[in-house]
Chains A and B, each alone.
Chain A
Amino acid sequence: MARLATTADVFNAVAEPQRRRILNLLVRGERPVNFIAVSLRYKQPQASKHLRVLREVGLVSVRGAGQQRLYKLNGKGLKPIHDWAKTFESFWNESFDRLDDYLNELQKPEKSHERKE
C-alpha cells in the first residue's frame, strides 16, 4: 500500500473544506501564511496546520522570502483527483452515449420508414 499512499492522501487532504478554501485562495498566486489566515479568518496555527498537510501531499510548495514563508499552489498535485474524476465521469458519460445509440437502434424499425438517404 505504501506506493499508493500519496494518491490516497491527496484525496484525504482535499476532503477537508478548510483546506479546499486555502487551495482556492492560492489559485490567485503565492501568499504568506498570515495573509491566508486573515483572509479566511483562521487562526494562524490552524492555517499552518492545514498548509503542512497540503505540503506533505504535494499540493502546495513553500519558499522563504525574507522573514516570510510564501505558499504556492502546485496544480500538478491535484492530478490524481482530476484523473479520478475524469475516469468516473467519462465512464458514465460514454456508457450513456452508447446506451443512447443502442436505444435509438432498437427503435429504428418503427421510426425509419421514411429514411431520406
Chain B
Amino acid sequence: MSAKNNPTEEPSTEEFVITRVFDAPRELVWKAWTERDRLMQWFGPKGFTMSTAKMDFRPGGIFHYCLRSPDGKEMWGKFVYREIVAPERIVLVNSFSDENGGLTRHPMSPTWPLEMLSTTTFVEQGGKTTLTIKWKPLNPTEEERKTFDGAHGGMQQGWTGTFEQLAEYLAKG
C-alpha cells in the first residue's frame, strides 16, 4: 500500500528527534558515547549516577545500566547495538529493563513502545560536533504506536495553546 493512498491527516509514526552541537572534535564525542567509563561520566539527568554499567560495544552487543536518582530510586535500561559505523553512526534498540536485562515496560506508561529504535549520528564541522538522535518505536503494536504518536504530538507539534492552559493550571497549584 502506497503512502499516497492515505490523504487523511492520520499520522504515520514520525521519529522523535533531539540534536545538540558540542564544542569538541567528533573523535572525542564518539569516545564519550562508546567507552563505558566515559559514558558513565555523563549519561543520565543531573544528579543521577550510574551505579552499574556493562558494555559490550559491537553489533549485537549490549549496554546494560542502572541509573540511581538523587533520592535513591533505581532505573534500569539497556541498549542493544545493531549497527556501528565509527565515528559516524550508531543504531541501537533502546528499552527499559530489569536488573537481569529482561525487557520491562515504561514505568509511567504501560502502553509506551517496549522497544525503541534509536539512530545517533555524529557530524563534525569546524571542530564542533553535531549530535543527532532519532527515535521511533520498533515493531510497535497498534496501541504502542498510538501512545508514541500521542506523546510525540505533545512534545513536538502545535500544542502550544493546550499546554499553555495546562501550565496555567499547574501554576495555580
Q: Tell me if A11 and B28 are in contact (CB < 8 A).
A: no
Interface residues of B in 103-143 (CB under 8 A from A): 108-112, 131, 133, 143
Residues from 138 to 173 in B contacting A, C-beta threshold 8 Å: 143, 145-151, 153-155, 157-159, 161-166, 168-170
Q: Give Cα distance in the complex from A80 to B166, angstroms.
A: 11
Q: Is A76 an interface residue (CB 8 A)?
A: yes
Chain B residue with the shortest CB-CB distance to A85: B155
Q: Is the interface of A mostly helix, strand, loop or mixed?
A: helix
Taking a contact as CB atoms under 8 Å apart, the answer to whether A96 and B20 are in contact is yes
Contact A103–B23 (Cβ < 8 Å): yes
Cβ of B149 and Cβ of A15 under 8 Å apart? yes
Instruction: Choose among B45, B108, B147, B162 the residue that contacts A12 (Cβ–Cβ < 8 A).
Output: B147
Which of B36-44, B52-60, B78-86 interfaces with chain A?
B36-44
- Name the B residues within 8 Å of A104 (CB-CB): 23-24
- Of A44-52, A63-71, A87-95, the one contacting chain B is A87-95
- The answer to whether the Cβ of B1 comes within 8 Å of any Cβ in the partner chain is no
How far apart are B155's CB and chain A's nearest CB, in angstroms?
4
* Partner among A1, A83, A89, A107 whose Cβ is within 8 Å of the Cβ of B108: A83
Q: How far is the CA of A91 from the CA of B161 in the complex (A)?
A: 24
Are A98 and B24 closer than 8 Å at their CB atoms?
Answer: no
The 9 A-B residue pairs with the shortest CB-CB distance, nearest first, are: A15-B150, A75-B169, A15-B146, A98-B42, A11-B150, A27-B161, A103-B24, A94-B45, A81-B154
Chain B residues with CB under 8 A of A14: 150, 153-154
From B9, B23, B150, A81 is in contact (CB under 8 Å) with B150
In the complex, number of A-B residue pairs with CB atoms less than 8 Å apart: 141
- Interface band, chain A: 35 or more
Nearest neighbor of B135 in chain A, beta-carbon distance: A88
Q: Is B147 a contact of A27 with CB atoms below 8 Å?
A: no
Q: Given the complex, which residues of A lie within 8 Å of B168, measured CB to CB?
A: 75
Complex-state Cα separation, A104 to B42, whole angstroms? 12
Q: Does B71 contact A (CB under 8 A)?
A: no
Whether the pair A17, B10 counts as a contact (CB closer than 8 A) is yes
**Complexed CA–CA distance, A8 and B110 (Å):** 6
B41 touches A85 (CB 8 A): no
Q: Are B153 and A99 in contact (CB under 8 A)?
A: no
Q: Which of B9-60 contact A (CB under 8 A)?
A: 9-11, 18, 20, 22-24, 28-29, 32, 38, 41-46
Given the complex of chains A and B, what is the CA–CA distance between A17 and B9 in angstroms?
Answer: 7
Known: A15-B147, A79-B166, A107-B28. 20 other contacts (CB 8 A): A7-B109, A8-B110, A11-B112, A12-B146, A12-B147, A23-B162, A27-B164, A75-B165, A75-B166, A75-B168, A78-B154, A83-B108, A87-B108, A88-B155, A94-B46, A97-B46, A98-B43, A99-B43, A100-B22, A102-B38
